[in-house]
Homo-oligomer: A and B are copies of this chain.
């Protein structure tokens, strides 16, 4: 039986993306906080495989290769060229193998990832193109199903990347990390959208930096811009899993929080907030719905559970988890509370969860000490 491709799946209903790789590996002890390069695909392959598996089990339709920041220039960035342990080629190859193994467990699509390169800022377009090209070469011989560029905050850089991606003759997904203020140079959301669309990409949208609520607002503007120009593209939204309304107008989103990167735990979405996000995204016309930094397996599971009516299938984890806890609660609640909790999601939807921290404010003053690449 032939595996259905991305575009066919998107034409039939929502596609569930996977969640965070870098941040999750970091919490588990397999990535360096602040660096987030994926040497673990070679050094700790079972750990990476396990993360992939959990997303597959949670209902993700896609396994994205653990190749974020896996270009030679970026791998060398933190440590100096002479100390780099592995080349981009080594890492991309190992990552694809792990993705393939996990994907095969539930007929998932394998997405080869592209991310921003320090060369773009430091040396210019052509140097960047070379890095993207090397990464594309690495994917050429791996049986991946589509390519996805993400975390770009400069429309010009993602345009260069898209040109190299096109040479692979695979469906193309482009994501920028932009909030209401547009890209790093102030290019408006609408302009970013139209320029991404004009690269020939099949799916466009946003990922990371901004939370689900801010990202939905941005996606609505992207949708409107496309409609206005009679352009028809699938939309993707993979926001950060850390709630951060106060950074809506800061170009770096949650990276500007004083809590970044070690104290973000209280900002992690609940699975209910993930349910709500999935519904709002689908209602806003987004078809490819997943998460980025901060999203964990239980959040992806909520997306799959929420979209079960549209997808007509339960995630593999259904043997052990149900939407809103389901019948598994039956023994741990008194009959009264059980009635209230189980009937519908209302009990959970009406909750504003507390953090148990009376000395904390609800939001923080963003700072401007973080830099990228």
**Residue ranges of A at the interface with B (Cβ–Cβ < 8 Å):** 26-35, 40, 46-47, 50, 53-54, 57-58, 77-78, 211, 242-246, 257-259, 261-272, 296-298, 301, 317, 320-321, 324-325, 328-334, 336-338, 340-341, 348, 351-365, 367-372
Contact = CB atoms under 8 A, between A and B. Distances in A.
A231 to B, nearest CB: 29
A335 to B, nearest CB: 9
Contacts of A34: 325, 328-333
A333 B369 contact: yes
A364 B351 CA distance: 10
A269 B266 CA distance: 7
Contacts of A369: 333-334, 336-338, 340-341
Given A34-B325, A334-B370, A337-B367, 4 more contacts: A26-B320, A29-B301, A29-B317, A264-B353
A354 B260 CA distance: 11
Contacts of A298: 26-29
A262 B266 contact: no
Q: Quick one: copies of this chain in the complex?
A: 4
A24 to B, nearest CB: 10
Nearest to A345: B262
Nearest to A118: B331
A79 B365 CA distance: 42
A118 B368 CA distance: 50
A330 B243 contact: no
A372 B325 CA distance: 16
29 contacts: A26-B298, A27-B296, A27-B297, A28-B54, A28-B297, A29-B57, A29-B297, A32-B321, A32-B328, A33-B328, A35-B332, A50-B50, A243-B355, A246-B356, A258-B351, A262-B272, A262-B325, A265-B270, A266-B266, A266-B267, A334-B368, A353-B357, A353-B364, A354-B363, A354-B364, A357-B361, A358-B358, A359-B363, A362-B362
